[in-house]
Chains A and B, each alone.
Chain A
């Protein structure tokens, strides 16, 4: 006999699956509406088209280790014979689930992620061997507590809240070393230096390819839309790495041909934008799509679902576990520009450098309502940018489509103002 609660849960499960499929389809519709998308993007469009089709399935039959922020070293998880899956969700349907039991003020990322894990618990069950949660922002930390209550095997990866001192660095190195040992227990597989070396090389190849792609965005002739870049990096959260690399390689090849033949994806005069702030994650690509529908092109970004995630690679000096684990730790902390870390200096510096390298003319700052780290740092970022002579548009938004009209008016006005600035120059 099913209880009422069970029945309600089953109804919610069904409704969520339905909404999710529709939501994904809608985003894809918008993404593909732009004319002349690169052929190689089809791989990514298809990947996401299938993702929610018959219920949200896990991407692999192997043991999955969920990761909650970008500071979890994927290399270690692969070397332990499991598959990492970044759990941060961009789905409004999941946010709705989370909203039922989470404070209204919490940010959409944690609501959606917790909602997703709640509604899919029976479906994914044992396959999720662990959910690894670095101690970054307060909401993520508390959401870890909730997941534990739900019965998920949550692993807290202790991370310092500052990265400048040697003390913080060693503390984090110790955390990563402990994680290395614990992962072997969780998966039952031994992490050897040989395996780790191979995986580090594979992941370095991912970074190398991402950088190539990012370099193509420097081109004066616009070659690729930001909305597509965010789709490629969202795919990195869940895709099989070898196929991801293959698909990115093909995309780069195609764009190289465009570059040589001077083929532009859009108007050559399109204002060049940078997007930063809270992370755009499929299917929530609302803001990037708006910007590019309004005639801008996002040529650079500083978000944890794209550039911050993929730019860096591990550099070890000696091929033993001891040195490689420390090198892994450094790679995920030292260059990290997450605003949960203080001071925020490196993030400001990186933005200034991106403005230069990608010839950025305007910055779109997206802050999810409820996300304090971003809401609080935006003033500082805006000051840094204005020193560099670049205007910034601050948008507070969430996963719903209610604010679309309001947002698009503001984005259009901003893009027009950049064009006007240009005329004055």
Chain B
């Protein structure tokens, strides 16, 4: 029995997680973008960009609901509305806690699109761009600012801050207005309407223009820089607040780490700590998308492990590492 389990483990650790991920992402994409055709609905609190503007989706992104709920005046939180808010929030956390940031690596349609663009670039043998480490450290803070804004701006619609006049309703879902999910995802079901400038008011015009600009940057940026957008994504910032409670984890046994840096090289987001952090066992950083590429590229036995409820489900092995690198050459 032990031997069968051992062989099973070994077979799993020898596989290419990246290939599995590729198919899984494609399947998630289909479900989240076209799930409505199968009458599938995972609810409105998904911790991923299944955009509410895209029909017939199989579930919706929580950020829309969150922003929307923030517009209500504070006083009404004490009534039934507050309970609705709380239930929504808890549902979001429940979804998130099971899979942790794997939502980003395996499910998010915007993440998947970025990976497709990367694959396209690699096919053309065009070289990729990378940030220098200090730039990376500076840029990664932006997502927390966006998160704060997407909560505070709607609040300023239903409430007055410091006696200032309340904001107008055009700013109800400010992040959605500039989110590439809104402009790009509907395209997959033939809806081009989100690409139009909204000229009905001045603020709407500015917001939709900004949205188009971000969309352009999203497409060109993620063509040359892997997971370009994720570094700025407020959903990712929101995730990280709860990441320590998650059931799915990435853990590191520092004693076994040679600091070869393979994991850091492979990481599409560019997380240096995965190689250099020798302190923490739980190694999920705020930009991590739990894609597992680092685990695939780590040549040290059991140094990096993906664990669910403390049980290792995929871990680095020398055998797996050499198999995958050999496979890369054979696929040439």
Contacts and interface: CB of A to CB of B under 8 A. Distances in A.
B258 A315 contact: no
A352 B321 CA distance: 23
Nearest to B327: A201
A211 B318 contact: yes
Interface string A187-210: 000000110011011001101100
A350 B259 CA distance: 10
Nearest to B318: A211
Contact of A317 (B132, B260, B266): B266
Nearest to A169: B261
Nearest to A333: B261
A49 interface: no
Interface stretch (B9-17, B70-78, B122-130, B153-161): B122-130
B329 interface: yes
B132 A312 contact: no
Contact of A320 (B127, B259, B266): B127
Nearest to B123: A318
Given A208-B322, A312-B299, A349-B255, A318 B262 contact: no
A299 to B, nearest CB: 17
A262 interface: no
Interface string A333-372: 0110000000000100110110010000000000000000
Nearest to A200: B329
B14 to A, nearest CB: 13
Q: Which of B127, B255, B299 has the most CB of A within 10 A?
A: B299
A313 interface: yes
Nearest to B322: A208
Contact of A334 (B125, B256, B259, B329): B259
A164 B275 CA distance: 11
Contacts of B266: 315, 317
A314 B321 CA distance: 10
Contact of B329 (A201, A208, A356): A201
A19 interface: no
A331 interface: yes
B326 interface: yes
B299 A315 contact: yes
* Chain B residues touching A, majority SS: helix
Interface string A287-330: 00000000000000000000000011111111110110011001
A315 B255 contact: no
Contacts of A327: 265
B202 interface: no
Contacts of B328: 197, 201, 316, 319
Nearest to B266: A317
Contact of B322 (A197, A313, A319, A330): A313
Contact of A313 (B133, B256, B325, B332): B325
Contact of A330 (B125, B260, B318): B260
Given A197-B332, A349-B255, A315 B321 contact: yes
From A169, A194, A201, residue with most partner B Cβ within 10 Å: A201
A315 B325 contact: yes
Contacts of A335: 258-261
Highest count of chain B CB atoms <10 Å: which of A211, A315, A331? A315
Q: How many A residues are at the interface, by size bracket?
A: 35 or more
A335 B278 CA distance: 14
A78 to B, nearest CB: 14
Contacts of B275: 334
Interface in B274-297: 275-276, 278, 297
B260 A201 contact: no
B135 to A, nearest CB: 11
Nearest to A327: B265
A205 B133 CA distance: 33
Given A320-B127, A330-B260, A194 B265 contact: no
A331 B321 CA distance: 14
A166 interface: yes
Contact of B261 (A194, A319, A330, A356): A330
Interface string B39-63: 0000000000000000000000000
Given A197-B332, A201-B325, A204-B322, A315 B259 contact: no
A204 B326 contact: yes
A317 B265 contact: yes
A245 to B, nearest CB: 13
B260 A352 contact: no
Contacts of A318: 122, 128
14 contacts: A164-B276, A193-B125, A200-B325, A201-B329, A204-B325, A205-B322, A315-B299, A317-B297, A319-B332, A320-B127, A330-B260, A330-B262, A334-B259, A349-B255
Given A315-B266, A334-B260, A352-B255, 10 more contacts: A198-B332, A200-B329, A201-B325, A204-B325, A315-B262, A317-B266, A323-B128, A330-B260, A346-B259, A349-B278
